[in-house]
Amino acid sequence: MSSQFTIRPSTPDNRYAIAELIYTSINVWYSRHGFPPIFQGGPHVTEVFFDVYQAIDPDCCFIAENPRTQQIMGSCFYHPRPEHVSLGIMTVHPNYQGAGVGSGLLNAIIEFTEKHNYKSLRLTQSACNLDSFSLYNRAGFVPRHAYQDMFLAVPESGLPVTLRVQECIRPARLEDIQAMVELENEISGITREVDYRYCLENENGFWKTHVAVNANGGLDGFLISSGHSAVNILGPGVTRDDDTAAGLLLTALNCYPGRTPVFLIPVERDQLVRQMYDWGARNCELHFCQVRGEYQPFRGVNLPSFLPETG
């Protein structure tokens, strides 16, 4: 609580205001740092964040509100899972940066995490935003993993690449969910069945999910992707090895001919990174997996995302 703002849970009535805040604050940050705006077309395109997170985790968003004007000064989604909480997209209106809004929102989610005895609070955070990095670092988050954000313009005819592992890749089915949960727990040490069920049910119509099946009928990997007009991103997903990751990425990329999907590759997976370069991918940013609390090192390839968010 601050005399300058009040922290409270969001309501469905805040949908458009939060979308406008996300659109404005993120585009302004990128513009100020010499990058083109991330979002185009007006704030309605970022309503997808509120819609997806309200569907998966109803009312799991804190907002900072100006008590005099009721303007939303900042917002932050969070995603409780069986043993951890994922800290989601945090935005502060440019007019209120430096007023302690980010700290106030973060403290509210830390308090929630500790009150309910979750083992960790996690996020995937931009390595280029040092103010944001410092906010989380001061609060006890530790950078545990680094990713290259890459983008690739897919030709209208698709990528002219064939990999043997693609023979083992197929669209995911609802009956794959338990195997997906078990695989991510093995590789990343977290579980989030609700995210996978939401994407596979695909009521929005823009989700695609593929799995890599091994000779024993089990899974060696899976990858979800969003084809939304404002957020064409590959992930989340996990795989046991680089070859499986490459096959799933190739399959997902070719779902979006004529478009330029974004995806995150672990920096230490040098074989996979080089393969992405060979296909024409370029870097646009760096991100960290940051964890406050218990952490299990990844035992395979982790491919995080921002929709739905990966902790």
Task: List, for residues 181-236, the tens digit of each pLDDT value.
Answer: 999 999 999 999 999 999 999 999 999 999 999 999 999 999 999 999 999 999 99
The Cα–Cα gap between 219 and 221 comes to 5
pLDDT at 4: 86
Residue 289 lies in a domain: yes
pLDDT at 35: 82
Task: List, for residues 136-154, the tens digit of each pLDDT value.
Answer: 999 999 999 999 999 999 9
Quickly state the pLDDT bin for 2 (edges 50, 70, 90).
low
If asked whether residues 155 and 295 sit together in one domain, one would say yes
If asked whether residues 206 and 265 sit together in one domain, one would say yes
If asked whether residues 156 and 297 sit together in one domain, one would say yes
Residue 142 lies in a domain: no
DSSP class per residue in 218-275:
-EEEEEEEEE-SS-EEEEEEEESSHHHHHHHHHHHHTTSTTS--EEEEETT-HHHHHH
If asked whether residues 172 and 281 sit together in one domain, one would say yes
Task: List, for residues 252-309, the tens digit of each pLDDT value.
Answer: 999 999 999 999 999 999 999 999 999 999 999 999 999 999 999 999 999 999 988 8
If asked whether residues 156 and 287 sit together in one domain, one would say yes
Q: For residue 83, count other CB atoms closer than 10 A to its CB.
A: 16
If asked whether residues 155 and 294 sit together in one domain, one would say yes
- Residue 257: give the domain boundaries: 149-303
Residue 63 lies in a domain: yes
What is the mean predicted confidence (pLDDT) over 62-89?
Answer: 95
Q: Is the pLDDT of residue 74 over 90?
A: yes
- Residue whose structure tokens are 């303007």: 71
If asked whether residues 92 and 209 sit together in one domain, one would say no
If asked whether residues 228 and 182 sit together in one domain, one would say yes
Pairing of strands 207-213, 169-171: antiparallel
Q: What is the CATH number of the domain that holds 52?
A: 3.40.630.30
If asked whether residues 299 and 195 sit together in one domain, one would say yes
Q: Which residue has the higher pLDDT, 158 or 29?
A: 158
Q: Where are the alpha helices (DSSP H) in the chain?
A: 15-32, 47-56, 101-115, 130-138, 177-188, 193-201, 242-253, 270-279
Residue 69 lies in a domain: yes
pLDDT at 241: 97
Residue 124 lies in a domain: no
Residue 109 lies in a domain: yes
If asked whether residues 100 and 212 sit together in one domain, one would say no
Residue 33 lies in a domain: yes
User: End of a domain among 118, 133, 166?
Assistant: 118
Give me the number of domains the chain comprises: 2
**Residue 192 near residue 184 (C-beta atoms within 8 A):** yes
What is the mean predicted confidence (pLDDT) over 176-180?
Answer: 98
User: End of a domain among 76, 100, 118?
Assistant: 118
Residue 204 lies in a domain: yes
If asked whether residues 96 and 192 sit together in one domain, one would say no
If asked whether residues 69 and 113 sit together in one domain, one would say yes
**Residue 184 near residue 191 (C-beta atoms within 8 A):** yes
